Amino acid sequence: NKEKTLAIIKPDGLLGNHTDDIKKAILEYGFSILKEKTIQLDEDAVTRFYAEHSSKNFFSSLMKYMTSGPVVVMILEKENAIADWRALMGPTDASKAKSTHPHSIRAMCGLDIQRNCVHGSDSLTSAQREMSFFFRELSAVKLEDTW
């Protein structure tokens, strides 16, 4: 019973040249990358994508971070993809991931609670919303298409 989830390599992941290592870990963990593209998010896209965080105190900082450079968005598929991708990413706070989840992606390339390198959908409902957000109604500027 295969499941799909949305993964994002965030701007710090691309700027730090972690894309190839992250994709290697994804494939080694048994995911298929069904779709992939590199895009630059604008403020409108971030506001809509992170709508649930729009009233948080870190939102303006999150906006700056997520618009600071291109991101890679991917649809991953495997059995139990949503939970397994979150397990492979490790905890949100990348600074803690280094001691508690040393083999996770966030331990490998994340910096702190904001610059945590990758994103993954947290439920079936958000996976569906996030996959169609990036692969159907897309409003962000498309830089490159690799699928």
Packing angle between helix 124-135 and helix 81-89, nearest 10 degrees? 80
Residue 138 binds ligand CMP (CB under 6 A): no
With vertex at residue 126, the alpha carbon angle to CA 68 and CA 41, rounded to the nearest 5 degrees, is 20
Is 53 catalytic? The answer is: no
- Closer residue to ligand CMP, CB minimum distance, 24 or 64: 64
Q: Determine which residue in the list 32, 51, 54, 58 makes contact with ligand CMP, applying CB under 6 A.
A: 58
Q: Are 117 and 18 in contact (CB under 8 A)?
A: yes
What gap in Å lies between CA 130 and CA 49, rounded to an integer?
7
- Identify which range of 16-24, 28-36, 55-63, 97-105 contacts ligand CMP by CB under 6 A: 55-63
Binding site for ligand CMP (CB under 6 A): 53, 58, 61-62, 92, 113-114, 116, 119
Residues tagged active-site: 119
